[in-house]
Amino acid sequence: MLACSAALLAFSLVTPPAGAQTSATVPDNAVARRYGGGWTCDRGYRQTGNTCIAVVVPANAHLSAFGNDFECQRLYRKRDNRCEAVVIPEHAFADDSPYGRGWHCEQGYLETGGTACVAVQVPANAFAVDSSYGQGWRCERGFREAGHSCLALVVPANALVEVGGDRWKCNRGFVQSADACVRVLVPADAYLDSTGMTWRCERGFSNDGRACVPLRVPSNAHIDFSGNDWACNERYRKNSEGCVADSQL
């Protein structure tokens, strides 16, 4: 009885279950993986279900780096299962990248319709730019783009042209109002803030919306970190009348 049990145990250790044996089967034109189990198709074949089928390499193509597909040669682009020649239009040059249409327009020309390159029409007060996007030109400084032309900027008094050259902004101490720059009115006991477009009160004054009024600091209080309000001293708390000791709360 013991001998029979030992024989059954040995058989179970060397004989995998039926399902495992099937999944470990390596198909033709494949090799078992060294680690992790399974298998990998040979170079020049690609996996389809549980088989490896040959990669059909069309004319003007070669196997990809991984060997499971084909790539078109330079000046050809993949379409379905073949490689079509890239048609380079006039005023264009070939692009070595395997992506895109395979060509770019020369400087001074723009792509149109994906099949041609047309000359850039530079309007007055503009200059051509080397770009594959947009209209191929930019307005000169002091002009702004308006459709297919450049219009002169009307810069009001107390303003200057921004760095980009196509807008204006008010000088420090002025704010924009419609198409003009109006002076910021700074009340007494106030100063222009860092933006130059508004004001804030000096330390010891508070802003009531139109002017700066002196702070009324109650007993047992001090001007806070902002300089425009007050806070109670330690061991005191603010209430409607001022600062009261913690012991009175």
Examine the fold and report which residue of 183, 205, 229 is the final residue of a domain before the chain moves on: 183
pLDDT of residue 24: 61
Is residue 186 exposed (0-12), middle (13-18) or buried (19+ Cβ within 10 Å)? middle
| Residue 98: inside a domain | no
- Which residues, in sequence order, are bridge partners of residue 193? none
Structure tokens at 106: 């020369």
Residue 220 gets the label, from left (phi > 0), alpha (psi -120 to 50) or beta, of left
| Residue 80: inside a domain | yes
pLDDT of residue 113: 87
Burial 100-133 (b: 16+ CB within 10 A, else e): ebbbbbeeebbbeeeeebeebebeeebeeeeeee
Phi, psi of 19 (to 5 degrees): -65, -45
pLDDT in tens, the chain (249 residues): 444 444 444 444 444 444 343 446 999 999 999 988 899 999 999 999 999 999 999 999 999 999 999 999 989 999 889 999 999 999 999 987 777 788 989 888 988 888 899 999 999 999 988 876 778 899 999 999 999 999 999 999 999 999 999 999 999 999 999 999 999 999 999 999 999 999 999 999 999 989 999 999 999 999 999 999 999 999 999 988 799 998 765
* 55 contacts: CB under 8 Å, gap ≥ 6: 44, 45, 46, 63, 67, 68, 69, 70
73 SS3 class: coil
| Residue 235: inside a domain | no
Examine the fold and report which residue of 85, 101, 123 is the final residue of a domain before the chain moves on: 85
Using an 8 Å Cβ cutoff, are 44 and 54 in contact? yes
Torsion 225-230-231-234 (CA) sign: positive
Distance of CA 200 to the CA centre of its chain: 37
| Residue 109: inside a domain | no
What's the distance, Cα to Cα, between the start and end of the chain in Å? 92
Distance of alpha carbon 215 from alpha carbon 223, whole angstroms: 8
Examine the fold and report which residue of 51, 68, 85 is the final residue of a domain before the chain moves on: 85
| Residue 62: inside a domain | yes
| Residue 73: inside a domain | yes
Q: Which domain holds residue 37?
A: 27-85
* Stated pTM of the model: 0.53
Structure tokens at 224: 């806070």
Structure tokens at 103: 């060509």
* Total count of domains within the chain: 2
| Residue 99: inside a domain | no
pLDDT of residue 11: 41
Structure tokens at 180: 């003009």
| Residue 170: inside a domain | yes
Rounded alpha-carbon distances, angstroms, from residue 201 to 92, 198, 214? 63, 11, 10
